[in-house]
Amino acid sequence: MSRPQVYMEASQQQAASNGGSKVTSERVALLVLSALLAAAVIVIYRLSFENMRHKTTFQTLRDEHEAVKRNLTGILSEIESHKMVHPIHGNISEPCLKCEEGWEQHEGKCYYFSTSTSAWEKSRDECRQQGGDLVKIDSRDEQEFLDLKLREKMNQDEDKFWIGLTDSKQENTWLWADGSPLNTSLSFWSGNEPDNWKGDNADGEDCARMGVKAGAAYLKGWFDKSCKVSQRSICEKAAQTGRVTLHCSSLQV
């Protein structure tokens, strides 16, 4: 074989080798590109699916909201067209608590604030004649109610009111008119009271009164006093259960 021929065959084999390598690289690049494209399609599909799902949920909620609005509009329209209600045969009677004329109601109890003055025992008798007794204060709320009321009713600071509290049976053992002992956590003595001062009476001060014209600081408005002194008084009794009659005539929208 001549030298030029050998050279040509060698060149052809080299070209074939380079061409095969080039084809292989292009296939790899194509495969990689295809894989990336497939991954991109999957991502786009999932995003599109999520978006469609959210849109569907939002549309469902909006449809439900519109349905509720239509129902409410219909109900209001029906009420508007039937403002006048057909009369009910008979009356509707509902239970209620009430007090007699001259008595003031608070939390299921009735209170009478006397305008005349009497000694403690006589004041109690007057309360009992009206179906009650001198007031027994069971809570801070009740004390606050009475303190506010007495600010309105007192003409001067000594214009105080008897309450149903006394230690006439045993000194310093304070009992309510019904015989129950005073709860010391619910006592509202003013300052150094009770002090059993004997300046007005040698027997001391065995009955309790209350009231501060300007309002008692921290509700501390109880004072002991000789039971023989004439004072106004607070009577108390349970509110009566009555019935209030309601007439069904019209409905205001």
Domain at 167, CATH number: 3.10.100.10
What is the extent of the structural domain holding 60?
Answer: 1-82
Q: For residues 7-36, give the mean pLDDT.
A: 57
Distance CA 154, CA 145 (A): 14
Altogether, the residues listed in the chain come to a count of 253
The more confidently predicted of residues 113 and 4 is 113
Per residue in 200-221, pLDDT (tens digit) is 788 899 999 999 999 999 999 9
Q: Does residue 214 sit in the same domain as residue 110?
A: yes
Whole-number pLDDT of residue 93: 53
Boundary-marking domain end, from 23, 53, 82? 82
Whole-number pLDDT of residue 205: 97
Answer whether residue 67 is part of any domain. Answer: yes
DSSP symbols for 13-33: HHHHHHHHHHHHHHHHHHHHH
Q: Does residue 120 sit in the same domain as residue 69?
A: no
Q: For residues 85-109, give the mean pLDDT.
A: 74
Q: Does residue 191 sit in the same domain as residue 216?
A: yes
Q: Does residue 23 sit in the same domain as residue 71?
A: yes
Taking 60 as the threshold, does the pLDDT of residue 6 lie above it? no
Per the structure, the count of domains in the chain is 2
Whole-number pLDDT of residue 179: 96
Give whole-number Cα distances, 175 to 170, 180, 201, 252, in Å: 9, 6, 21, 53
Q: Does residue 51 sit in the same domain as residue 111?
A: no
Per residue in 42-92, pLDDT (tens digit) is 756 566 656 566 555 657 767 776 776 677 676 666 655 554 444 444 455
Whole-number pLDDT of residue 195: 95
Q: Does residue 123 sit in the same domain as residue 51?
A: no
Distance CA 120, CA 226 (A): 9
Answer whether residue 3 is part of any domain. Answer: yes
Answer whether residue 249 is part of any domain. Answer: no
pTM: 0.60
